Amino acid sequence: MTARLSVNIDHVATLRQARRTVYPDPVEAARIAEKAGAAGITAHLRMDRRHIQDSDVERLRGAVKGKLNLEMSSAEEMARVALAVKPDQVTLVPERPEEVTTEGGLNLILYARRIAGVAERLAAAGIAVSLFVDPDPRQIQALIPLKDSGVTGFEINTDAYTRADDPAALEHGLRTDNVGPIAAIPGMEELNIGHFIIARAVIVGIDAAVREMLAAMGGGR
């Protein structure tokens, strides 16, 4: 089974917020990405609202045909947004105001109780819950008891993989030239990719950028 692609449209909103305009519209980008073959859309509503805004999440809920995956911290403010909008899935991620992008996975050993509490509320509302974790056996092991709190999936942080050839490199994501081995891992269900696709879209357009990524994943027709 070929892994599905969920396109993260955060950086369409980053470009918009640079001038506080109404364009480019991340919802329009989401529609184009799905028409190009994306199985779903991911958006990260950050506490500082640096890119995606609450209104974007609301409009995405009405526009996305596939799975809408909302990335967010476990803060109470974020939980209230998710419970109001009801995306198909929430992926809980750690968040620091000063970070450029999400820098690592959740610490399930230290914060299991807090995460479990949020997960239970989301699951009770019919929202699938996934957790963003580092490829650390201890963190993977800590996922097991959280199944009882409604956690149904997890996403592995691929940062170490993308920087394997140069640990000092400022790489934080999958690209067409490195996605193949990850997509080919047995049991890999879905890849959430944003920055590279949106950056490539500046040159070739979103439709072409999504199709290029799908081809690189082995899912191109």
Looking up residue 172, the CATH number of its domain turns out to be: 3.20.20.70
**Angle 100-89-49 from CA coordinates, rounded to 5°:** 35
Q: Which of 175, 197, 192 is nearest to 70 (CA)?
A: 192
Q: Which of 5, 1, 79 is nearest to 42 (CA)?
A: 5
pLDDT at 168: 65
Segment 92-150, tens digit of pLDDT: 999 887 777 777 899 999 999 999 999 999 999 999 999 999 999 999 999 999 999 99
On the question of pLDDT at 19 being above 50, the answer is yes
Segment 54-73, tens digit of pLDDT: 999 999 999 999 999 999 99
Q: What is the dihedral of CA 138, 141, 142, 144, to 10 degrees?
A: 170
Domain tally, the chain: 1
Residue 220 — very low, low, confident or very high, per pLDDT cuts 50/70/90? very low
> Which residue is associated with the tokens 């620091």?
96
Residue 169 — very low, low, confident or very high, per pLDDT cuts 50/70/90? low
Write down the mean pLDDT value for the chain: 94
- Percent composition of the chain: helix, strand, coil (DSSP 3-state, to 5): 45, 15, 40
* More confidently predicted of 165 and 201: 201
Residue 7 — very low, low, confident or very high, per pLDDT cuts 50/70/90? very high
Biggest CA–CA distance in the chain, Å, is 45
Q: The tokens of 14 are what?
A: 């980053």
Measured between alpha carbons, how far is 140 from 194 in angstroms, rounded to an integer? 24
* More confidently predicted of 12 and 221: 12
Helices (H), strands (E): how many in the chain? 10, 7
> Which residue is associated with the tokens 């610490």?
107
Measured between alpha carbons, how far is 38 from 26 in angstroms, rounded to an integer? 14
Taking only Cα atoms into account, the Rg of the chain, rounded to an integer number of angstroms, comes to: 17
Cβ neighbours of residue 109 closer than 8 Å, sequence gap 6 or more: 138, 139, 142
Segment 147-163, tens digit of pLDDT: 999 999 999 999 989 88
The reported pTM is 0.94
Residue 170 — very low, low, confident or very high, per pLDDT cuts 50/70/90? low
Catalytic residues: 44, 71, 172
Angle of the 26-35 helix axis to the 54-63 helix axis, nearest 10 = 30
Q: Are 91 and 131 in contact (CB under 8 A)?
A: yes
- Domain hosting 21: range is 4-217
On the question of pLDDT at 171 being above 80, the answer is no
